[in-house]
Amino acid sequence: MEKLTILIPERMLGLRLDVALSEMLPDYSRSKITAWIKSGDALIEQKTFKPKDKSNGMEVIELKISKSQNNDWSAEDIPLSIVFEDGDIIVVNKPAGMVTHPGAGNRNGTLANALLHYDSNLKLLDRAGIVHRLDKDTSGLLVVARNEKSQKNLVEQMQMHSVSREYSAIVYGHMVAGGTVDEPISRDSRDRVKQAVSKSGKEARTHYRVIDRFQNHTHIKAVLETGRTHQIRVHMSHIGYPLIGDPIYGGKVRFPKKASEELKVALKNFNRQALHAKKLSLTHPSSGSTLSWKVPIPDDMLTILEVLSMYDPC
């Protein structure tokens, strides 16, 4: 356990104490500081206080920072594809079929379980350092923080939309050109498992460009400006180009008229949404350098693209 003595300067007179502490402790998130205040780990003259209490200027706050485990997730020896790592971050290439972190019905076998085995110190961080997620059946790049400072910084970058995430997707339909979908997204009022475009939802923007056209399908690049749940899947379905292999937003498998048996088999057997997070760019939390990583499209998507080029050419 680490004990800190923090003097709130006179210039912060009238500020909420949680805000003042956040400014004095820039390496820690506001939510973490609020939790310490509420748990009694932060005291003024041996007395507790509320996060919303205002500073009188020149308070002395005694803070206990306990290095306690932040979750009850178990560590599991599961292979990881590490693209990059240093003392601040880990960049992982997540395979399709792996859940990002434990939840109802998925307590084991997740990326978080694997990360906790790879680096046991991650148990001290919220969500084992994971700052964003990919759907179970979406493959590709994820960044994980290795300390509080990096986690706070990466979360802020996500909130400011300054992290660039580029995806490859294969959709039903022949696209003529790319564009931008700027439609808010919220939970579907008729189906709690799904998300939907809704006027009352949160802002969501997806930019997409054509990589390759086939007669009845299109290979696209999608770049997220925001990061809503299922965003690319929802937006592409909304404009009439759902992802191949997506039963939630694409419905049943669609066979083109006069489709060959080879094409029918390939489409029927592709059993996950054709979506891969292929490129990730961000500002390193410590050095401030812009870093970028790119990973190849996985074999299952390459195979379906080969089949489309052979049996669904323009």
Sign of CA dihedral 68, 74, 77, 83: negative
- In a domain? residue 77: no
State the average pLDDT for the chain: 93
Alpha-carbon dihedral of residues 116, 117, 118, 120, nearest 10 degrees?
A: 60
- Tell me: do 302 and 240 sit in the same domain: yes
CB-side exposure of 306: number of CA atoms within 13 Å?
7
- In a domain? residue 211: yes
Per-residue pLDDT for 87 more than 80? yes
Residue that is last in its domain, among 159, 184, 208? 159
- Tell me: do 30 and 135 sit in the same domain: no
- In a domain? residue 74: no
- In a domain? residue 19: yes
- Tell me: do 243 and 184 sit in the same domain: yes
- Tell me: do 288 and 305 sit in the same domain: yes
For residues 42-52, give the mean pLDDT.
93
Angle between helices 261-269 and 299-311 (to 10 degrees): 160
Per-residue pLDDT for 57 more than 70? yes
**pLDDT of 17-42, one tens digit each?**
999 998 888 777 788 888 889 989 99
Statement: the pTM of the whole predicted model exceeds 0.85: no
Specify the pLDDT at position 32: 82
CA distances from 286 to 84, 86, 147, 151 (A): 15, 11, 11, 11
Angle between helices 17-24 and 30-39 (to 10 degrees): 120
β-bridge mates for residue 172, sequence order: 217
Specify the pLDDT at position 159: 85
Choosing from 135, 137, 246, 312, which is the catalytic residue?
A: 135
**pLDDT of 167-221, one tens digit each?**
999 999 999 999 999 999 999 988 878 999 999 999 999 999 999 999 999 999 9
Q: Which of 1, 121, 130, 124 is nearest to 69 (CA)?
A: 124
Per-residue pLDDT for 105 more than 80? no
Band of residue 267 on the pLDDT scale cut at 50, 70, 90: very high
| d(C-alpha 305, C-alpha 300), whole Å | 9
Residue that is last in its domain, among 127, 159, 191? 159
135 is catalytic: yes
For residues 114-123, give the mean pLDDT.
96
Per-residue pLDDT for 54 more than 70? yes
CATH of the domain at 284: 3.30.2350.10
- Tell me: do 106 and 204 sit in the same domain: no
- In a domain? residue 231: yes
- Tell me: do 139 and 184 sit in the same domain: no
- In a domain? residue 70: no
- Tell me: do 147 and 209 sit in the same domain: no
275-283 and 139-145 as β-strands: parallel, antiparallel, unpaired? parallel
- Please tell me which residue, 29 or 304, carries the higher pLDDT value: 304
- Tell me: do 135 and 169 sit in the same domain: no
- Tell me: do 26 and 115 sit in the same domain: no
Per-residue pLDDT for 68 more than 60? no
Specify the pLDDT at position 30: 82
β-bridge mates for residue 207, sequence order: 180, 223
For residues 246-274, give the mean pLDDT.
94
Per-residue pLDDT for 66 more than 70? no
Phi, psi of 150 (to 5 degrees): -65, -40
- Tell me: do 146 and 195 sit in the same domain: no
139-145 and 205-213 as β-strands: parallel, antiparallel, unpaired? unpaired
- In a domain? residue 71: no
Residue that is last in its domain, among 37, 65, 93? 65
- Tell me: do 148 and 195 sit in the same domain: no
Q: Which domain holds residue 97?
A: 82-159
Residues 48, 40 contacting (CB under 8 angstroms): yes
Structural domain count of the chain: 3
- Tell me: do 191 and 294 sit in the same domain: yes
- In a domain? residue 35: yes
